[in-house]
Structure 1
Amino acid sequence: MAGWMWLRCVLGPHLQRIHKSPDQHHPGGRGWTYQPKSLEKHTDSILGWASALWSLSYYSSPLLLCYLYRKGYICTSKLVPVSQYLGTVLVCLLGVACLRGYGRWKNSEYLQFISILEEAKKNHTPANKVRSWQLECYDFDFSYWPLDFSWTEVSSPYDSFVVGLQCLSDVATVLSCLYFLSSFLITHSFGRRMLYPGSVGLLQKAMRPMLQQGQARLIEEFDGQRNKLVACDGNEIDTMFVDRRRDGGQNGQTLVICCEGNAGFYEVGCMNTPLEGGYSVLGWNHPGFGGSTGVPFPQNEANAMDVVIQFAIHKLGFKISDIVVYAWSIGGFTASWAVMSYPEIQSIVLDASFDDLLPLALKVMPDSWSESTSIKVLNTFFCQNRQLYQGPVLLIRRTRDEIITTTGPEDVMSNRGNDLLLKLLQFRYPKIMTDEGIRVVRQWLGSSTPLEEASVYSGYEVDDDWCVSVLQSYQADRDVLFPWSVGEDMTLEGRRQLALFLARKYMRNFETTHCTPLPASEFHQPWRL
């Protein structure tokens, strides 16, 4: 029996924190960081360094292989001793892992944890997903967490969209084939990592203390519930749910699903903004981020978003009309996909988001890459789904944004959020957004302070009450989907007023940089006519 328990300690997960005592079931309360004994601590440090060196060698392997080849080390006579050396290292690391297991076996806290984990897995079968409140008291490697929800539990999952790469059979010459192949490799190697730096393991290791602290705050202060979801591609999605329905507030009945940026995690990301506003909140990590598995390719992103929404409806008990999707930066891609796939969603809020990846990618890459297939493929990934949603939309523009501007934060007119607003208004109100309507909206967008905004707005003598009455009258007479033909028989002055009125309703400015957390006071439900 003792030998079996020791083996479970050897193969068991890394325990990071105990959120609350597993002997008492009570929400809230402060937890404590798990303190390993001396043997476990030192052996775990050795294995951690080995893992970091493996990651470094993995990312630098192309350069390392080129160097070894030039030095003549890639040959049978040299590879045999190297393989023997690596075998010795692996045996030593295996011994270190066994010693770590012995150290865990001598720690009463770890023994209690591993017993609870084994009992939870025994009771947590696909047919009987019973959550163990005792297991929720611990923070440990998410790969060992029992499954809470799978896309297979939904009778009719969504019809997935396809983002296709150009077929190699379309390429006429061998040279073109090689060019396409190199572009494909760029897109699926460092191109993806540049686009989603949060998926790089070394960065996650560096951020681990911050992520653990953020997760502890969500669980211990807000009684957050961590869940593992499995998407249709097999990726495991790490989520955190905070339920405010019991609090009795009006906002608590609305669920805000948060879509993080390219280096954002729910532990420290935009989830905190609606949380401070009293909403029920569901955060999730991109594939390859935190506890989520896989890589953040567009199809995987869509699959993850789909299972998150299905989980909210079928497990958490929210109506689709009670869900608001809130996205920051590149999270606007999955948010846009969500509202197009589930048009009954209440509304969407896009913070510091953009319309087109290509101008932003070229800002940090050589000009010679402008015609690269890899850049075009990446752009297709994130623009192909830019269909326009029929429900309420709010865009939040950072007036000192240094990331999604093409010339610099001092030039507010180069902010790609401007283009997102213009495309939205042009689709929904084409008769209002004529050349003159676009001109006055661009003039308003050129304002970087509230005083300048008010000056442009008052300069055109916009009558808000008149604009509302015109739009309400059109809606009452027709009750049609967008695009609307309102404004086609209107004077130039009237179209100007409506263009500025709509621009101010669809977009709010926030005077700060791209990565500054959005205060709860700046998070609003989108305007409804």
Structure 2
Amino acid sequence: MTFLNYIFSPRLFKVYGDASQKFYEPGGLEKWGDQIIYSLSMMWNISFYTSPLILTFLIRRGCFVAESITSFAKISAGISLIVVISLCMRGIGRSQSKVYTKFAKSLEAAKANSKNEEIKNELRLFDFEFKDWPVDFSVKEHNDAKKPRQVIAARSRPYWISSLPCEIAAYIAIHTFGLRMIYPGSVKLIQNYLHPMLVEGRAKLIENGHAKRYKLLTRDDNEVDSIFVDKRGISANGKTLVICSEGNAGFYEIGIMFTPMNLNYSVLGWNHPGFGGSTGKPFPDQDQNAMDAVVQFAINKLGFQPENILLFGWSIGGYSTLWAATQYPDNKGVIVDATFDDVLHLALPRMPQSLTGIVRIAIRQYVNLHNSELLSKYNGPIFMIRRTEDEVISENMDVSTNRGNNLLINMLKQRFPNIFKTEQVNLVNKMLSRPIEKTTDNSTDQLCLSLLLSYVSENGKSYPVEIGENYTEAQRNQMAEYLVYKHFMDYKSSHCTPLPVEYFQTPWTLPDEDTDFVFT
């Protein structure tokens, strides 16, 4: 190890299995050097996000003159000297630390032997800046990377000279503050604030759940921070893998993984581009590539077949989940919790009405998270969970305005067109205007199930299901209610409350001759 290696090696956060220390405690020189560099980095991040205000202030003060520029140059030179001194302090401190020296040697060995799992397992004893972790899986090394994909990100539309100002404004807005408003978890200031909780969350997954952390390389060269909990051979549920996609400010370290883990499923979590250790930005195309890498890693590296993979998405993670479902339709099923039909309908009420045109262009062109459109291209099993006190995708926590209602109705209309006529859509809208609770009626359930079973035996299990063309209004109403309960459940909670295990259910599928007719 050279002195430069110690200077530019990553920050060490924790040594797993060391009960005497909650976090790695650097020595004096390393601590002060790191603290100065961290403080300067924080100042840079703050100045970046407040740069419009700062520039306006400086211009009004006439600071962009020769004398002021000379002063700025001197200040910059002084800051550069402080950075150099701080780096040297850090390098000296690290070289004198037995713990850091052991970590640095493990890191160098893992980089030199990136395919050696035994050496990597030694490195897994340490939690450190993920940018230096060796790549564990690259999409480009597998044939699946060459298969055609259906990319749904933006809608092509003609450009008109009259709309050019709005087009420019939309581009600037989405590439400055807009994307960060949609995905606040990508803001570095928020990540710095959450950093101790993320380290603790990873420690809980690794030390208690025996998880392993992996770096995945996408087809667009982004790195995906992921973690895997293997329950195969431990429980019956362990042969099923649950891939978890987090919300717009969620991280796998403190996110939805714990619900399927508590049910002893094998679980694979990952962070969106720009979140945690993942690189890039959470634009739809980058998010799709990240999700694609996660699924391919599950199939090609971890050894799970698509039919044994459940896709689980919370909030904006429903988009990632439904996109993966369209690309890997042979999956075991999809579970979406507290998600929406179209992000445009969430964005418009939160922006001034005068900006409606710009917001519409920005969303449709750059962040077109249209879950209903994705779901129309997926015909597999799906289960939806709605939060009855959701303050994010409802207006004033009014359950009748929850955007999950629209996602459910659009899906049912497409899959069962002869059942969901105008009258039945109105009936379901009325049902969804208040919290719903299943009232047991075994005779009605058995009748609906037997009708579906008879239809499937003659026509197969493909959608759309044309059952109900000759039904009476009452029969359609019965079947509509039955299908709502089979695809949908209410949970009395706010948007961010962890999901209890009893709400995590394997999605319902069309019955066949093996269907059990016993109801509880």
Q: Do these two structures clear the TM 0.5 threshold for a shared fold by scoring above it?
A: yes
2:31 counterpart residue number: 41
Answering whether residue 194 of structure 2 is matched by residue 194 of structure 1, we say no
RMSD: 1.9
The letter for the 1-side match of 2:297 is F
Q: 2:366, 2:152 → 1: CA distance?
A: 14
Q: 2:183, 2:299 → 1: CA distance?
A: 28
The question of whether the paired residues in 1 share the 8 Å contact of 2:186 and 2:274 is answered with yes
1:7 counterpart residue number: 4
1:208 counterpart residue number: 195
Residues 176 and 76 of structure 1, relative CA distance in 2, 3 Å threshold? farther
Q: Which runs of 5+ in 2 are unaligned?
A: 512-520
The question of whether the paired residues in 2 share the 8 Å contact of 1:225 and 1:242 is answered with yes
* Partner deviation per Cα, 1:417-467 (whole Å, 9 max, x = no partner): 1111100100000100001211221222123253xx53xx87xx9700000
Offset of residue 357 of structure 1: 1.1
2:44 counterpart residue number: 54
Q: Quick one: which of 276, 293, 298 aligns to 2:262?
A: 276
2:77 counterpart residue number: 87
* Partner deviation per Cα, 1:91-116 (whole Å, 9 max, x = no partner): 21111111011111111111111011
The question of whether the paired residues in 1 share the 8 Å contact of 2:252 and 2:269 is answered with yes
* Partner deviation per Cα, 1:204-246 (whole Å, 9 max, x = no partner): 0000011111000000001100000000111000000000003
Residues 333 and 479 of structure 1, relative CA distance in 2, 3 Å threshold? same
Offset of residue 386 of structure 1: 4.4
TM-score by length of 2: 0.93
1:17 is paired with a residue whose SS is strand
The letter for the 2-side match of 1:38 is G
1:479 counterpart residue number: 460
Between 315-324 and 86-95, report the one with greater CA deviation: 86-95
Residues 436 and 145 of structure 1, relative CA distance in 2, 3 Å threshold? same
1:299 counterpart residue number: 285
The question of whether the paired residues in 1 share the 8 Å contact of 2:153 and 2:366 is answered with no
Q: 2:21, 2:412 → 1: CA distance?
A: 49
Q: 1:302, 1:379 → 2: CA distance?
A: 12
Answering whether residue 494 of structure 2 is matched by residue 516 of structure 1, we say no
2:136 counterpart residue number: 148
The letter for the 1-side match of 2:186 is S
Offset of residue 369 of structure 1: 1.9
Answering whether residue 16 of structure 2 is matched by residue 16 of structure 1, we say no
2:233 is paired with a residue whose SS is helix
Residues 172 and 446 of structure 1, relative CA distance in 2, 3 Å threshold? closer
Answering whether residue 413 of structure 2 is matched by residue 423 of structure 1, we say no
Q: 1:357, 1:162 → 2: CA distance?
A: 14
Answering whether residue 412 of structure 2 is matched by residue 392 of structure 1, we say no
Q: Quick one: which of 280, 297, 321 aligns to 1:311?
A: 297
2:518 counterpart residue number: none
Q: 2:279, 2:367 → 1: CA distance?
A: 24
1:228 is paired with a residue whose SS is strand
TM-score by length of 1: 0.92
The question of whether the paired residues in 2 share the 8 Å contact of 1:20 and 1:31 is answered with no
Pairs aligned (count): 505
Offset of residue 252 of structure 1: 0.4
Offset of residue 57 of structure 1: 0.9
The letter for the 2-side match of 1:426 is K
Residues 189 and 387 of structure 1, relative CA distance in 2, 3 Å threshold? farther
Residues 341 and 468 of structure 1, relative CA distance in 2, 3 Å threshold? same
Over the matched positions of the two proteins, sequence identity in percent amounts to 39
Offset of residue 130 of structure 1: 6.4
1:397 is paired with a residue whose SS is strand
Q: 2:14, 2:258 → 1: CA distance?
A: 21
Q: Quick one: which of 61, 68, 75 aligns to 1:78?
A: 68
The question of whether the paired residues in 1 share the 8 Å contact of 2:109 and 2:119 is answered with no
The letter for the 2-side match of 1:468 is L
Q: 1:156, 1:44 → 2: CA distance?
A: 42
Residues 382 and 438 of structure 1, relative CA distance in 2, 3 Å threshold? closer
Residues 110 and 359 of structure 1, relative CA distance in 2, 3 Å threshold? same
The letter for the 1-side match of 2:502 is S
Alignment map for 1:65-144 (pairs within 5 Å): 65-124=55-114, 132-144=120-132
Between 208-217 and 377-386, report the one with greater CA deviation: 377-386
Answering whether residue 338 of structure 2 is matched by residue 352 of structure 1, we say yes
Residues 520 and 381 of structure 1, relative CA distance in 2, 3 Å threshold? closer
Q: 2:468, 2:83 → 1: CA distance?
A: 73
The question of whether the paired residues in 2 share the 8 Å contact of 1:31 and 1:220 is answered with no
